[in-house]
Every structure is written in structure tokens, then in C-alpha cells.
Structure 1
Amino acid sequence: MSGAPNRRDDEVRRLLDTPHPMVPAGLVAVATVRGRRTVRRRRFAHHVLWVLLLAAVAAGIALAVMAWPDHHDPAGRTGDDTWWAPVSMGRVPTPPLP
């Protein structure tokens, strides 16, 4: 490094040599209260979002269970007019009822 003085170093030294402004007496207490309040609000928001997510999952499962086609024909006939038919082969002829 060169021995020449650096202008930026001189400016920094000049700034640090000046008297510092006084900090208000209650600043730490106010900052602590504000920080705790912020953390409490964030924690509450996270809990609310998790509860909403779990409620949405539970509602989705409940809707899927209620909407699942679980219709059993007592005569044993099957048709392909359901949305969950594995292969669409056209209409399957139903046997006549006795």
C-alpha cells in the first residue's frame, strides 16, 4: 500500500471525531416493546394461516368424500356413465330386470 493519505479515510475520521447525538432515554424500551409487538403479530398471522390451510384441506377432503360416486346397484348392473369409469367403451348394455 502506498503511504499517501486517503481522502476517504480522512473523511471517515473527521465524521467519527465529531460529537455523537444524544440517544433518547426510553429508546431501548420503546424499541423492545415495538419488536415484541411485531413478533406477536407475525406469530398470530402464521397461526391463523396454518389454521386456514388445515381447514381448507379438511373441507377439500370432506367434499371429496361426499362427492365420491359410491352408488352400488343392487342388481349388480354397471354403466359407464360415471365420471370415474376406467375405460370408455361406449354404453354397456344393461341386462333386463327379472
Structure 2
Amino acid sequence: MSRREREVAVRRLMEGTPPPVPADLYGEVVRRGSRMLRRRRAARRLMWLLLFAAVVVFSLWAAMVQPWVEPPSVTTPPLTGW
């Protein structure tokens, strides 16, 4: 099927009347949509909670370990100029 034939077929489909929609479709869509929104909201809240927990844990670790402080020297500097 060439591109021109596909365009003609699509135009024919677009110009026709849409198929009838089942009567109970609206209720089903609303039910599924609300369930999907609840799941997304719960996932979003869980992600914020995990992010907050990670920030608290990192802050506590950084306050205790102080990674920005240079560790004390373990060896003595070389003796020169004797």
C-alpha cells in the first residue's frame, strides 16, 4: 500500500460517521480514571516521603561524619634542612 493509498483510506475513515459508543462506557472510564488517579497520587506521596527520608538521612550522616573536614595526617612530614 503506497502512501497515497493510505492517505485516501484514512480520509475515508475520517469522513465517515463514528461508530456507536456503548452506553456503560462512561461509567467504566470514570471508575478506571479515578483508580488511576488514586494510584498516581499514592505513588507521588510515596516518592516525596522517600525523598524527605533520604534528605534527613543524608543530613544526619553529613553532620556526624563531616566529610568536608580534612582527615588528620597519619604520617609526619619529611625532615629537611638538618
Structure 1 length as normaliser, TM-score? 0.52
Query: 1:32-59 deviations in whole A, cap 9, x for unaligned?
Result: 1111111111111011001101101100
Aligned to 1:36: 34
Structure 1: distance between partners of 2:63 and 2:19:
67
Query: 1:43-82 deviations in whole A, cap 9, x for unaligned?
Result: 110110011011011001111112238xxxxxxxxxxxxx
Aligned to 1:26: 24
Q: Which has the larger radius of gyration?
A: 1
Q: What is the percent sequence identity of the aligned residues?
A: 36
Give the alignment's Cα RMSD to 1 decimal.
3.3
Structure 1: gaps (5+ residues): 1-6, 70-82, 93-98
Q: 1:84 aligns with which of 63, 70, 74?
A: 70
Aligned to 1:8: 8
Aligned to 1:95: none
Structure 2: distance between partners of 1:41 and 1:91:
61
Residue type of the alignment partner of 1:12: R
Residue type of the alignment partner of 1:66: M
Dislocated runs of 4+, deviation >6 Å: none
Q: Report whether the alignment pairs 1:62 with 2:48.
A: no
More helix by share: 2
Q: Number of aligned residue pairs: give it.
A: 67
Structure 2: gaps (5+ residues): 1-6, 78-82
Structure with higher RCO (Cα < 8 A, 6+ apart): 1
